[in-house]
Amino acid sequence: MLSIKIIASGEFREKYLQDAAEEYKKRLSSWCELSEYIFKENKLPENPNNTQIEESLKAEEKIILDKIPPRSFVIAMCIEGKQFSSEELAVKFQEIQNLGFSEMVFVIGSSYGLSQKIKDMANLRMSVSKLTFPHRLFRVMLYETIYRSLSINNGSKYHK
């Protein structure tokens, strides 16, 4: 069975987002083993300078790298990443599995994104939109996106 891991910053603060995430996690359990590692976002001043941002991204980089399993297909979620339609992403998931990967890891950075090292080591940089979303809402959107792709690949009528 496919294993999917989400590495992201920030616990859910809003119950409605937590409930939505739990619903998709429950649905995904039919098609994959889902796990997540949520790390605490570094606190920065209201208007951080570039050095403070870089130091924060470096600290988060270490946490993220420690949680990526060896031999997994790493997908860095970043604005400059490739965008897919739902059907294209379903095909990509199948291609990843056909390459022999049984584990996919999606990495969502903090509000300042991901370090360059994380982006460079990723097998794929992916974006779901040119729009910016709150990170916690985006995590729910990612669960739904994964669910939709797997539902397409499993012949479910969820995707119309």
Answer yes or no: are the C-beta atoms of 95 and 153 closer than 8 Å.
no
Q: Which domain holds residue 66?
A: 2-153
How far apart CA 130 and CA 38 sit, in angstroms, is 24
Average the pLDDT over 49-59 and give the result: 95
pLDDT, one tens digit per residue, over 15-50 is: 999 999 999 999 999 999 999 999 998 889 999 999
CA distance 140 to 156: 20
pLDDT reading at 109 higher than 70: yes
pLDDT number for residue 133: 86
Token couple for 106: 């999606």
User: CATH number for the domain including 86?
Assistant: 3.40.1280.10
Question: Is residue 88 included in any domain, yes or no?
Answer: yes
| Total-model pTM | 0.94
Whether 136 maps to a domain, the answer reads yes
Asked if residue 94 belongs to a domain, the reply is yes
Domain count, the chain: 1
Domain presence at residue 159 = no
Task: Look at residue 22 and tell me if it is in a domain.
Answer: yes
Residue 21: inside a domain, yes or no? yes
Q: Residue 160 falls within a domain, yes or no? A: no
The answer to whether position 59 is within a domain reads yes
